[in-house]
Amino acid sequence: MSKFEFPPSIRSRPIYRTLEPRKGPAHLLIADAAGAEAMLDMATTEMMQTAHIIYIPKGADFGGKLRALNPAKYYEGPSYAASVSRIRKVLADAKMGLQVYLAGTEGLMGQAQLEATNAGIPHTAIQCEHRGSVARRMQCVHCKGITEDVEVDPFICSHCGLNLFVRDHYSRRIAAYQGVCIDAEDPGNVPPSKGIYE
């Protein structure tokens, strides 16, 4: 899958680069869906000797190719929620010098980066490469509910039902973009939804 070229935006919006192997005593690779392609492009035989790959397919079929890399440990989970306890355990047991690589959707990368920073790894030391869906993980600033995989703007909050404008403001603290009521001053005056990057 080709990489999406994100348009310029505000400073809080994450910037993604291409993953590059780094020297280190251990490597944690977390990917979902097409993010596996970034891992396959970057992986080296040397790194795989101490690598722990955590993969969430989300309907994609890269598990066999990732296992063929012969990582020291491999886990394939049905969802991020099902995988987060393993991610936390790997981070809790990590020694100095662990290299962290994240690839795939913004929702996965944001949540995994939050876990890594909570474990003491600076966010600037975590490599991220976007691959696949451009859907966003959004927080309603009114009810604080999180809606996963938002692809249109405006969208309806899955918790409180407000019509929300998709903002580029991103919070690393909650690993989500912010959505604000679009028709607060003129209820019902909501423009037609369109793709976020249309």
pLDDT tens track for 60-119: 999 999 999 999 999 999 999 999 999 999 999 999 999 999 999 999 999 999 999 999
Sorted by sequence, the CB contacts under 8 Å of residue 122 that are 6+ apart come out as none
Residue with tokens 């910037």: 15
- Are both 170 and 96 inside the same structural domain? no
- Residue 105 located in a structural domain: yes
- Residue at 112 is within a domain: yes
Domain-embedded: residue 17: no
Domain that holds residue 170: 136-195
State residue 1's pLDDT score: 45
Q: Note whether residue 11 is domain-resident.
A: no
Whether residues 115 and 45 share a domain: the answer is: yes
In the chain, how many domains are there?
A: 2
Q: Is residue 176 part of a domain?
A: yes
As a whole number, mean pLDDT of residues 49-53 equals 98
Mean pLDDT of the region 156-182? 96
Residue 67 lies inside a defined structural domain of this protein: yes
Confidence of residue 150 (pLDDT cuts 50, 70, 90): very high
Q: How many angstroms separate the Cα of 190 from the Cα of each of 143, 156, 161, 172, 178? A: 19, 11, 13, 29, 18
